[in-house]
Amino acid sequence: MNRAWIIARKEIKEILRSKYILSSLVIPIVLIGILVPFITTIIPLTTLPGPGSANFPPGIEKLIPGFREMTFQQKLTYFETYFVLAPLLLMVPLMTPIYIAADSFAGERERKTVEPLLATPTSDLELFFGKLLTSFIPSMAVCFVTFASATIILAFAALEAFKRIIFPNLAYVAMMVLTAPLATVFSIGIMVVMSARIANVRDASQIGGIVILPVILLLFGQLFNLFFINEIIVLAATLLLGLVDALVIRVATSRFDRETLLTKL
Amino acid sequence: MPLAVHAEGLTKLFGSSVAVDHLNLGVEEGEIFGFLGPNGAGKTTTVRILSCLLMPTSGSATVAGYDVLRQPQEVRRNVGLLPEVQGHYERMTAYENLEYYGQLYGVSGAELSKRVNGLLETMGLWERRGEKVGVYSKGMRQKLAVARALIHDPPVLFLDEPTSALDPEAQKRIHDDVIALSKERKRTILLCTHNLAEAEKLCDRVAIINRGRIVAVGGAETLRNELWSRRTFELLLARPDEGVARALEATGLCERLEAKGSSLVFTVSDPERDNPLIVDAVISAGGRIVSLAEVKRSLEDIYLRIIGESG
């Protein structure tokens, strides 16, 4: 597996030299880590009058004990934090690696670097894991920075409204530590398989965008009060993702075909 | 002499199209072997099979003593490949490109630095080792690709058009390196080229491949003798002399005689027997000989005739 690390190290060095890829990594941090939490929590808290009113989704009181007793500002901060922003954070581990992973093999093919690479004594498994690590390391870094940044801004909002920090709860900490890495591996695994079989990076990344569909469903589910992300849901999602990841890696490595990689037009 | 590259009945189909058709090949250790043929003849596919980049549909092959089907990793470790398209990482420097490939081939530490530095110097890239390959000229990229093929000091080298895009000086340097690798270090080199003068200069033997099949194999001299039983000579006189040409014709030894100014070109069936008699006839007719030399059929003549005959 030493060669997998050699590949990942080289590719990450290249990523850091590409303004285009670097910007794709900075966007989630700026957007979801800074702008969205700022606009959805800090701005309303500082501009809306104290005893305001808003139509929160029906049924939310059943999901959140004590919601009815909260002040308007507390309700707003809680809703924006847990029902709008938190699910968005889940999209980061899935979305961030899409371009890098799509580029993994399709990019090598586009730039005609695939032939000398395949001629080296690097095994299929090393190639696959090399590409997987290449996307995993920067994506997780982005994921944690985004989460940390959002947490800090939300802490300011919560201190203003609740006089205490309300985010992250145990479920979201578990989600960041357990579910997010597995979600990233899921996204990358699918993308690497696509990338090895699709001729160019653009097509691979477009088709691969489908991996964020489960999170969009989750987002809507939570917005429409079908459920509220708690420890049990996180645990179930983690277990499910673990199984799916094992399956994706198994399928990806067993179907990895150097010849297709070289001759696919 | 052990065979460094050996193929038997090697066949590769892409769908219903036959790229390589029951190809048999034997390249000896330390030999420079030319692989010639028109575009689409199957040269690149054969090299890709022998480098374990493609699986043969049928047949078998060994490279450096390792089986391409059963020991692909060992084959890859022992082969240096210069592909048709160079394929460098353009955002990386020449040094980083070589270092990366060296690491993938298992070279590390001080040995890796020594090889990278040595190859950059040999290829004349040392001064620009820190620049990104994206700004390199076509010739510099080609030199870097040759260096990459040599980074792990492999016993077998597959070089596809190694001197294309190179200036004459760089071409000569590559030629000298190829000859040194073969003759001094016993490296086996399979050279795919359309440059027939280069093949004639470098190769101990050549194989001519057409439509996936080898249609001729051997040294240029052997192929020449096989194709042309008659040999052609040029006799250069001090001055044009029609009487000499008539005297030569009168000997009845020349199968074909062409007089052009002071040059007489003729074909004989047995030069050892006929040429002394021809020289006597010329002198008797008052001709003053400046030189008598064989008109060699070039590898290009051989190639064109074989490809023409094989359809």
pLDDT tens by residue, B247-278: 988 998 888 888 888 999 998 888 899 999 99
**Strands lying side by side in the sheet with B289-294:** B256-260, B263-268, B231-237, B289-294
Report angle CA B251, B252, B253 to the nearest 5 degrees: 90
Class of residue A105 by CB neighbours under 10 A (exposed 0-12, middle 13-18, buried 19+): buried
Mean pLDDT of all residues in chain B? 92
The whole-angstrom distance between A76's CA and the closest CA on chain B is: 48
Return all residues near A168 (Cβ < 8 A) that are at least 6 apart: A86, A147, A151, A176
- Chain A partners within 8 Å of B77 (Cβ): 121
Write the residue in B85, B96, B104 that is nearest to A3 by C-beta: B104
Please report how many Cα atoms fall inside a 13 Å half-sphere around the Cα of residue A209, on the Cβ side. 6
B15 in contact with A at a CB cutoff of 8 Å?
no
pLDDT digits (tens, 9 = 90+) for A103-129: 888 888 889 999 999 999 999 999 999
Q: From the list A13, A120, A259, which residue is nearest B54 (CB)?
A: A259
- Residues on chain A bordering chain B, Cβ-to-Cβ distance under 8 angstroms: 3, 6-7, 10, 13-14, 17-18, 111-123, 258-259, 262-263
Residue in the block written with tokens 């699986």:
B55
Q: Which residue of B has its CA nearest to A122?
A: B104
CB pairs under 8 A between A and B: 70
Answer yes or no: do B92 and A18 touch at CB < 8 A: no
User: CA–CA separation, B158 vs B33, rounded Å?
Assistant: 10
Closest CA to A8 of A182, A98, A185, A137: A137
Judged by CB atoms closer than 8 Å, whether chains meet at A112 and B86 is answered as yes
In A, which residues are within 8 Å of B105 by CB distance?
120-121
CB contact under 8 A, A119 and B105: no
How would you label B7-17 residue by residue, b for 16+ Cβ within 10 Å and e otherwise?
beebbbeeeee
Which residues of chain B make contact with A119, given a CB cutoff of 8 A?
Answer: 51-53, 76, 79, 81, 83
* Tokens at A113, concatenated: 């670097």
Q: Provide the shortest C-alpha distance from residue B102 to chain A (in Å).
A: 9
| Per-residue model confidence as pLDDT tens digits over A26-48 | 999 999 999 999 998 888 888 77
Tell me the average pLDDT across B146-175: 92
CA–CA min distance A136, chain B (Å): 20
Confidence of residue A222 (pLDDT cuts 50, 70, 90): low
pLDDT score recorded for residue B47: 96
**Which of B1, B166, B4 has the alpha carbon at shortest distance from B86?**
B166
Residue appearing with tokens 């190179």? B166
Cβ distance B106 to A121 less than 8 Å, yes or no, reads yes
Pairwise CA distance, residues A197 & A261, whole Å: 7
Percentage of chain B modeled with pLDDT above 90: 69
pLDDT of residue A219 exceeding 70: no
Q: What's the residue count for chain B?
A: 311
pLDDT one-digit tens code per residue, B85-136: 999 999 999 999 999 999 999 999 999 999 999 999 999 999 999 999 999 9
Helices A19-28 and A124-161: angle between axes, nearest 10 degrees: 40
Q: What is the DSSP string of A125-162?
A: HHHHHHHHHHHHHHHHHHHHHHHHHHHHHHHHHHHHHT
Question: What H or E segment, with its residue span, contains residue B53?
Answer: none
Model pTM?
0.84
Q: Which residues of A touch B150 (CB under 8 A)?
A: none
Helix (H, G, I), strand (E, B) or coil at B228: coil
Going by pLDDT thresholds of 50, 70 and 90, the confidence category of residue B242 is confident
Nearest neighbour of A121 by CB, restricted to B53, B105, B145: B105
- Using DSSP, state whether B85 is helix, strand or coil: coil
Reading the block at residue A55, the tokens are 């139509």
Q: How far apart are CA A181 and CA A201, in angstroms?
A: 23
Q: Is B135 near chain A, with CB under 8 Å?
A: no
**Chain A hits for B156, Cβ within 8 Å:** none
More confident residue, B32 or B297: B32
- Residue in A closest to B50 by C-alpha: A119
Residue B187 has pLDDT above 60, yes or no: yes
- Angle (CA) A43 A46 A51, round 5°: 115
Q: A196 pLDDT exceeds 70?
A: yes
Phi-psi category of B74—alpha, beta or left, where left has phi over 0 and alpha has psi -120 to 50? Answer: alpha
Tell me which chain B residue has its CA closest to the CA of residue A263: B54
Confidence category of residue B297, pLDDT binned at 50, 70, 90: confident
For residue A183 the two structure tokens come to: 């979600």
- Report the alpha-carbon distance of residue B147 to residue B181 in Å, rounded: 13
Q: Is the omega angle on the peptide bond into residue A51 within 30 degrees of 0, that is, cis?
A: no
Other CB atoms within 10 A of residue A101 CB: 31
